[in-house]
Structure 1
Amino acid sequence: MRQLITALACVFALPALAQQPASVNTPEEIARLDAYETQLEKYLVHYLQDEYEARAATFWHRDYTSPAALERSVEPNRRAWEAVLSPPSLVKTGPMQKRPHNVDDIKAEWVTLPLGMITADAILAVPENASAKKPVPLIIVQHGIGSAPETPFRDGGYHAYAKALLKAGYAVLAPLNLRSIERRNNIEHLCRLAGTSLPGIELVRVQNLLDVVLADPRVDADKVGMWGVSLGGKATMCWMPLEKRIKAGIVSAWFNDRIRKMIGQDPRYSSFQKGNENYAFLKGWLEQFSDDDIVSLICPRAVMVQHGKKDGIAYWPGLEDSFKKARSHYERLNMGDRMELVMHEGGHEAIVEPGIRFLDKWLKDK
């Protein structure tokens, strides 16, 4: 028995010994690892950044002879973008539940739609004068990472743009998405193991909500827009290529030179690469999908980009260059007026008046 105990003690001690060989954490070993990491980083940055244009040219074969021709020519890229988000199949498993959920002085409802083990939740607010005889357009209002569905109805960086939309005669659907870096990191890690993504799940949740909300006779199902700020801007960019019911979109405080934003290092703007926002890295994103390329999956539907020169998420002259590339898809179809840039002197925020003017033009005046 003593020999067995001794033998077991030796076995259980082995892993601890194996984890601390004498050569670990020596200056020589650290230098070797540093060199290897540098090699890998240079190799991958070269692939993602320096080879992007040549690589993207092999993926995109756009036909600008007509809007329909462009949409048809980018269909393979649309399917590839769908593979990046990998949205799961989530089907409605019960009726939508509604309960009063006023936000300050705004009369609204909290809606919950069961989708199996999860739910799709949102604030729904409809103008009081909306009716079956006078249906109103619907705007999906998507909050950012540090906020909640109520935030766009209130003052602050959002400037109560959801409240302004209601006043302007729009119904508002403000979905609940997962906020905080830690929570999104946690769930995105599990999503990757499951072959999906959090933006993909959140897209399907909103699609199911639209199925029900657009059946409301007070809502004009043919006039749907979306306006997202920050992470909500990401949602707008991610979802519009795959949800064609969204006819016009506003991207506030998100549109970017995507390669710079993901892997660049420059004191003039923040980069995801050296931070802790792991949720932001989607498998295959930079194979062929810079922001200006993604816009060609939205064209010819209308898009507005809003960015503040004091917003540290981007170097604004570089953003202007990316915008020009994105707008070129519209210009080649003689539809340049369908894409606008609001470059303002502020920071990370929504700019209300030009946004409502833009939505009025493309959802009310059509």
Structure 2
Amino acid sequence: MVKKLCKHRWYLFFFALLLSTLKVEGQNNNFVSPEVETARTDGYEKQLENYLRHYLVEEYEERAEKAWNRDYSSPDALKRSVEPNRRRWEKVLSPPKLVKSGTIKRKPYPLREIQAEWLELPLGMLSAEAILAFPDGASEQKKVPIIIVQHGIGSTPESPFSPGPYHEYAKGLLNAGFAVLLPLNLRSIERRNNVERFARLAGTSLPGIELARLQHLLDIVLADSRIEPDKVGMWGVSLGGMATMFWMPLESRIKVGVVSAWFNERRNKMVVPDERYSSFSPREEHAFFTGWLSEFSDYDIVSLIAPRPLMIQHGKKDGIAHWPQVVEEYDKSIVHYQKLKMPERIELNLHEGGHEAIVDEGVRFMNTWLKENDL
């Protein structure tokens, strides 16, 4: 009986000690009041924020000047001189090494009057999926250029055939004689946030994964006898514009780009909150990539695309940016082409609208560089 009581008291003693420890932990040992502790932690957070913001914004120009050593003596010289930056950009996206694990599956996928196909290419545990459609008359005897048409975060591969902000621009491209490839990428902020967390843990990124999927699709699609494989363009809207900017530096088969509703003064957009434009933080954590602003503001990324033709589309009513800052970033971007004596290869389509594609201008640009001129 005595032994049982002693054992019981020991249990009570250890339980009381545990409660006491938890209570002390929660009260910070009663050495500091909650008000003082909160003020101290708020201050430390502000120090960290100011330190990182200073690095990302104020120190950017000096850091980038050391990181880039561009040679504008010829287009090939520029490409060679930025190759170290291109490799570092590849590390930002870190696309995984995916392997084709089966043959591509095709099935009819009519979109009202448009006779399209749904493609699915197995890549191990993943697959690459897309809509593929050809203009009337495309054949082995009448090959056509192809445009990668990339949808935004709130839409689907079908959306560029629809009205609204896309203004049926995929249909406009078909009518102009282009084939269109519309990859399926992950939709919605919440889903991209979720997957991007896992991707970072795995040392990759969601844009990197989606680039690898596209590249495998291109391997198959560009072998189609109806397509001119050396005449490939890409036109993305919103997050699809991000894909165009992100992927062109790493995929040389894309010869011409149109970026709608994405191009920005990147440091301000990502780091400096402002009532004149929306911010990704804190809701859209999927949009923050390790090392992005080490040396890759948008005008620097453009130098990884040059001398390939590039059109930037931005609406003055588009809340993603304060449009005068977009103009300033574009003015820095055009310098790359001016120094190559090719200023006609880059355009800013600054319009009075909002977050949308401007079809006629984009189609004209693709016609100019994929049909009328040799690149």
Q: TM-score range by the shorter chain?
A: over 0.9
Q: Which residue number corresponds to residue 38 of structure 1?
A: 46
Question: What CA distance in whole angstroms lies between the structure 1 residues aligned with 2:336 and 2:133?
Answer: 35
Conservation of the 8 A alpha-carbon contact between 1:263 and 1:272: no
Conservation of the 8 A alpha-carbon contact between 2:136 and 2:177: no
Q: Which residue number corresponds to residue 191 of structure 2?
A: 183
Q: Is 1:287 the equivalent of 2:305?
A: no
The amino acid across from 1:2 in the alignment is: H
In structure 1, the gaps of 5 or more residues are: none
The amino acid across from 2:238 in the alignment is: S
**RMSD of aligned C-alpha atoms?**
1.5
Q: Which residue number corresponds to residue 163 of structure 2?
A: 155
Alignment of 1:303-314 (within 5 A): 303-314=310-321
Alpha-carbon distance change, 18 to 331 in structure 1, aligned in 2, over 3 angstroms: farther
Q: Which residue number corresponds to residue 356 of structure 1?
A: 363
Question: What CA distance in whole angstroms lies between the structure 2 residues aligned with 1:262 and 1:151?
Answer: 27
Q: Which residue number corresponds to residue 3 of structure 2?
A: none
Question: What CA distance in whole angstroms lies between the structure 2 residues aligned with 1:18 and 1:160?
Answer: 63
Alpha-carbon distance change, 189 to 14 in structure 1, aligned in 2, over 3 angstroms: farther
Question: What CA distance in whole angstroms lies between the structure 2 residues aligned with 1:129 and 1:292?
Answer: 39
Q: Which residue number corresponds to residue 146 of structure 1?
A: 154
Q: Is 1:119 the equivalent of 2:136?
A: no
Alignment of 1:332-351 (within 5 A): 332-351=339-358
- Deviation per CA, 1:225-282, whole angstroms, max 9, x where unpaired? 0000000000000000000000000000000000010011211111223x31001000
Q: CA deviation at 1:304?
A: 0.2
- Deviation per CA, 1:268-298, whole angstroms, max 9, x where unpaired? 111223x310010000000000000000000
Question: What CA distance in whole angstroms lies between the structure 1 residues aligned with 2:119 and 2:320?
Answer: 33
Question: Which is further off, 6-15 or 35-44?
Answer: 6-15
Secondary structure at 2:114 match in 1:
coil
Secondary structure at 1:114 match in 2:
strand
Alpha-carbon distance change, 186 to 11 in structure 1, aligned in 2, over 3 angstroms: farther
Identity %: 60
Alpha-carbon distance change, 131 to 14 in structure 1, aligned in 2, over 3 angstroms: farther
* TM-score, normalised with respect to structure 1: 0.97
Alpha-carbon distance change, 3 to 96 in structure 1, aligned in 2, over 3 angstroms: farther
Counterpart among 20, 23, 28 of residue 26 in structure 2: 20
In structure 2, the gaps of 5 or more residues are: 1-6
Alpha-carbon distance change, 181 to 8 in structure 1, aligned in 2, over 3 angstroms: farther
Q: Is 1:98 the equivalent of 2:123?
A: no
Larger Rg: 2
Q: Is 1:56 the equivalent of 2:64?
A: yes
Question: Which is further off, 206-215 or 122-131?
Answer: 122-131
Q: Which residue number corresponds to residue 264 of structure 1?
A: 272
Conservation of the 8 A alpha-carbon contact between 2:265 and 2:326: yes
Question: What CA distance in whole angstroms lies between the structure 2 residues aligned with 1:191 and 1:25?
Answer: 40
